[in-house]
């Protein structure tokens, strides 16, 4: 026969497990939406992501809004920093129309590396 204390401890543990399962399901749902949104990016948006990763030197606490321009794991391309890097990606792609966007991204990443 359980004491009241161990019954309470078991109930607390059961509730903690249920909460963890709900949190895990929410996190999995968010991850799936983010991965789906990343797969749906067009080539200019992918280039914009690479330009941001290679070139942004601001801190991401209060200097650059890139990581805040996201809702439910999905980037909002109408917000300032996403729109700015998308504009730069389009300008770069227009400047070098014979080079595919993936190659342009690789060139930018390589040239931004500090040697």
For the record, the structure tokens of 39 come out as: 């797969």
49 touching Zn ion, by CB under 5 A:
no
What's the closest the beta carbon of residue 58 comes to Zn ion, in angstroms?
5
- Shortest spacing between CB 104 and Zn ion, in angstroms: 19
- Is residue 64 a contact residue for Zn ion (CB under 5 A)? yes
Cβ proximity to Zn ion, 64 vs 75, nearer residue: 64
Q: Which of 48, 51, 66, 89 binds Zn ion (CB under 5 A)?
A: 66
Q: Give CA–CA dist 30/36, Å, rounded.
A: 10
6: enclosing H helix or E strand: helix 4-39
What is the secondary structure of 45-111 as a DSSP string?
HHHHHHHHHHH--S-TTTT--GGGSEETTEE-TTSHHHHHHHHHHHHHHHH-TTS-HHHHHHHHHHH
**Span of 26-34, 42-50, 61-69, 86-94 interacting with Zn ion by CB under 5 A:** 61-69
Q: Distance between the two ends of the chain, CA-based, in angstroms?
A: 69
Task: State in angstroms the smallest separation of the CB of 49 from Zn ion.
Answer: 11
In the complex, minimum distance from the CB of residue 52 to Zn ion, in angstroms, rounded to a whole number? 6
Positions touching Zn ion (CB under 5 A) are 56, 64, 66
């Amino acid at each position: 026969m359980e004491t009241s204390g161990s019954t309470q401890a078991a109930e607390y543990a059961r509730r903690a497990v249920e909460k963890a399962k709900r949190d895990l399901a929410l996190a999995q749902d968010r991850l799936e939406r983010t991965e789906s949104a990343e797969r749906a990016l067009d080539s200019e948006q992918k280039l914009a992501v690479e330009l941001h990763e290679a070139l942004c030197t601001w801190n991401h606490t209060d200097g650059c809004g890139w990581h805040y321009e996201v809702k439910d794991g999905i980037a909002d391309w109408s917000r300032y920093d996403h729109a700015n890097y998308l504009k730069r990606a389009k300008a770069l792609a227009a400047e070098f129309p014979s080079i595919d966007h993936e190659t342009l991204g690789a060139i930018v990443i390589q040239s931004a590396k500090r040697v």
